[in-house]
Chains A and B, each alone.
Chain A
Amino acid sequence: MIKAENVRKVFGTTTVLESVDLAINPGEVVSILGASGSGKSTLIRCINGLEKLDGGRITVDDFDVSKPKELAEARKRSGTVFQLFNLYPHMTAVGNVALAPVEVLKRPRAEAEREARELLASVGLTDRADAYPAQLSGGQRQRVGICRALAMHPRYLLLDEVTSALDPEMTAEILNILARLAEGGTTMLFVTHEIEFARQISDRIVFLDKGRLVVDLPTAEFFAPSGGLASPRVVQFLSKMRKE
């Protein structure tokens, strides 16, 4: 279980996150929505330890991410997929996917590479497995990124706007893969702009407004007039997104 308690994060003079409480239970699919600058990505970056908290506490399976040794354990349990892919440019797709299992989980290289190829095959990249990132399209790179995160068999999958850098066609591909993962029972925490997608696959939707967690409801209730839509900020946000 991922637990965020009273999280506070400040950049310079701007408070990006304030009093954020969030709990993710195993098996849940949760989407975080909100305008740009509302702190969504920062929250994910706090969970995987890329940003240090200025207040509050985050634990992943009771491992406190602000303690270095426990952070290492927490990172073994969560995988992150990035908006800009962040693939290792000097390694092939297989190399990218197999690196962490070999170095962190101490799996034998042949086994890790075999499993890497299976993962890549499951997202349709069988024939691109030995290509380098520079030779792949954006959608293909993101698929490699997803496989790289999955190769560690993480309990929780953190996805930070993973389709925002892709064109509509590639976006659809990726969303399909993610939907499959969600159905399969993977615990996922999305930060996304894809409202319809979020509505379809999430169990819960969380809404951040200017660093504060304003709404946290199961999907159906979120989109109900008496639930999430009762909040004017949510309505404003959704109508703006629909226009785009």
Chain B
Amino acid sequence: MRGPQSETGFNDWTECISVRFDLSFIAPEIGFLLQGAQLTIEVCFLALIGSLIMGSLVAIARTSAARPLRVIAYAYVDLFRNIPFIVQLFFFYYGLPVIGIYLDAFPTGVVALSIAGGAFASDVIRSGILAIDPGIIEAAEVSGLSKRVIFTRIVLPIALRTSIRPLGSVFINLILTSSILSTITLNELTGSARIVVSDTFRPFEVYVVLLLVYAALTYLISILIGVLHYRLNRNLGARVT
């Protein structure tokens, strides 16, 4: 293990800047970092599902005919979009044990991300719902389909398909926000990187690499989202004149 860079005794200016951006020190740590990355993906995947469920429920509430439901849903979205995520996270992490709910960092993180992500997702899904041709809903109603079936078999499938791209943005947002979970001692990617830094004393290199990894990850996901959008919507699209 290398010690820290010495702060005195440089021979010339090139030694002031360790332009030897030598990344070989990372090699033994990669396994550990990959574990962190895996944790990030797990958290974000679960949080995505949570966000979609919350977002769908809230979007349905916001487009419902009952006013109290609309108000509550709007309040939820407004609140969780205007309060910093780290504050929300601390609220759950420190608050839940007080009322007797003892959750590990992982489930707490998933819950907090799902609630925050759900607020953003609900806006997207709501737009998707409002964009549905009303005639389709009418056809479903006169066939005798119940409200529940109309929502689960018609409204949500269509709204989710057309909203894939903006939902992809929500997912990418989740991934970036998940780095904040490192503050509640969850060793996801950022948390693992911090540990690697404390072991190798090379914060600059490690964090630059971390930035690039996150950026690459989000880029990859946006490409996948594009593909998913194409595949889910190719039967809906082209008009036959």
Mark A residues whose CB is within 8 Å of B. Answer: 48-50, 72, 75-76, 78-80, 82, 84, 86-90, 99-100, 103-104, 132, 134-138, 145, 148, 152
Interface assignment of B239: CB less than 8 Å from any CB of chain A = yes
Instruction: Tell me if B143 is interfacial: C-beta within 8 Å of chain A.
Output: yes
B130 touches A (CB below 8 Å): no
CB distance B154 to A104 under 8 Å? no
- The interface centre, meaning the residue of B138, B139, B236 with most chain A CB atoms within 10 A of its CB, is B139
Tell me which residues across on chain B come within 8 A of A82, comparing CB atoms.
135, 138-139
Please tell me if B225 contacts chain A, counting CB pairs below 8 Å: no
B residues 177-227 with Cβ under 8 Å of A?
Answer: none
Contacting A137 at CB < 8 Å: which of B140, B154, B240? Answer: B240
Minimum CB–CB distance for B143 against chain A, Å: 4
B residues with CB within 8 A of A: 133, 135-136, 138-146, 149, 153-154, 157-158, 161, 235-240
Q: Does the CB pair B236–A132 fall under 8 Å? A: yes
- Closest residue of A by beta carbon distance from B157: A90
Least CB distance from A191 to B in Å reads: 14
Closest beta carbon of chain B to A96's beta carbon, Å: 9
B230 CB to nearest A CB, Å: 14
Q: State how many angstroms separate the Cβ of B176 from the closest Cβ of chain A.
A: 31
- Most A CB contacts (10 A, CB to CB) among B133, B144, B161, B236 go to B144
Nearest chain B residue, comparing its CB with the CB of A44: B142
Shortest Cβ distance from B194 into chain A, in angstroms? 45
Q: Can you give 26 contacting A-B residue pairs, CB < 8 Å?
A: A48-B142, A49-B142, A50-B138, A50-B142, A75-B143, A78-B142, A79-B142, A80-B139, A82-B138, A86-B138, A87-B136, A88-B136, A88-B139, A88-B140, A88-B158, A90-B158, A90-B161, A100-B143, A100-B144, A100-B145, A134-B236, A134-B238, A134-B240, A135-B235, A135-B238, A152-B143
Which 9 pairs from chain A and chain B are nearest by CB? A86-B139, A100-B143, A132-B235, A86-B135, A104-B144, A75-B144, A48-B142, A80-B142, A89-B236
Other than the given A88-B154, A100-B144, 18 more pairs (CB < 8 A) read A75-B141, A76-B144, A82-B135, A84-B135, A86-B138, A88-B139, A89-B136, A89-B158, A89-B235, A90-B161, A99-B143, A99-B145, A103-B146, A132-B236, A134-B239, A135-B240, A152-B143, A152-B144
Majority DSSP secondary structure for residues of B touching A: helix
CA distance A104 to B153 in the complex (A): 13
Q: Is the CB of A86 within 8 A of B133?
A: yes
Give A193 to B93 CA distance when docked, in angstroms. 67
A residues near B158, Cβ cutoff 8 Å: 88-90
Query: Shortest Cβ distance from B151 into chain A, in angstroms?
Result: 12
Nearest chain A residue, comparing its CB with the CB of B154: A88
- Chain B residue nearest to A158 (CB atoms) is B142
Task: Give the complex CA separation of A100 and B149 in angstroms.
Answer: 10
Closest to B140 in A: A88
Q: Which residues of B contact A135 (CB under 8 A)?
A: 235, 238, 240
A148 to B142 Cα, complex, angstroms: 11
Contacts of A88 in B (CB 8 A): 136, 139-140, 154, 158
The listed residue (A50, A79, A89, A99) touching B141 by CB distance below 8 A is A50
Contacts of A89 in B (CB 8 A): 136, 158, 235-236
- Point out the residues of chain A lying under 8 angstroms from B146, CB to CB: 103-104
B132 → chain A, closest Cβ, in Å? 9
Is the pair B142, A103 in contact by a Cβ cutoff of 8 Å? no
B139 touches A87 (CB 8 A): yes
A100: chain B residues at CB < 8 Å are 143-145
CA distance A86 to B137 in the complex (A): 8
Q: Among A75, A89, A132, which residue has the most Cβ atoms of chain B within 10 A?
A: A89
Please determine whether B153 and A103 come into contact, CB atoms closer than 8 angstroms. Answer: yes
Separation in Å of the B164 CB from the closest CB of chain A? Answer: 13
Inter-chain contact B144/A86, CB cutoff 8 Å: no
Query: Cα distance A90–B153 when bound, in Å?
Result: 10
A148 to B139, CA, bound (A): 10
How far is the CB of B118 from the nearest CB of chain A, in Å?
Answer: 23
CB closest residue in chain B, given A135: B240
- A137 / chain B contacts, CB cutoff of 8 Å: 240
Q: Which A residues lie within 8 Å of B235 (CB)?
A: 89-90, 132, 134-135
Min distance, Cβ B237 to any Cβ of chain A, angstroms? 6
| Whole-angstrom distance between the Cβ of B8 and the nearest chain A Cβ | 69
Report the minimum CB–CB distance from B66 to chain A (whole Å).
15
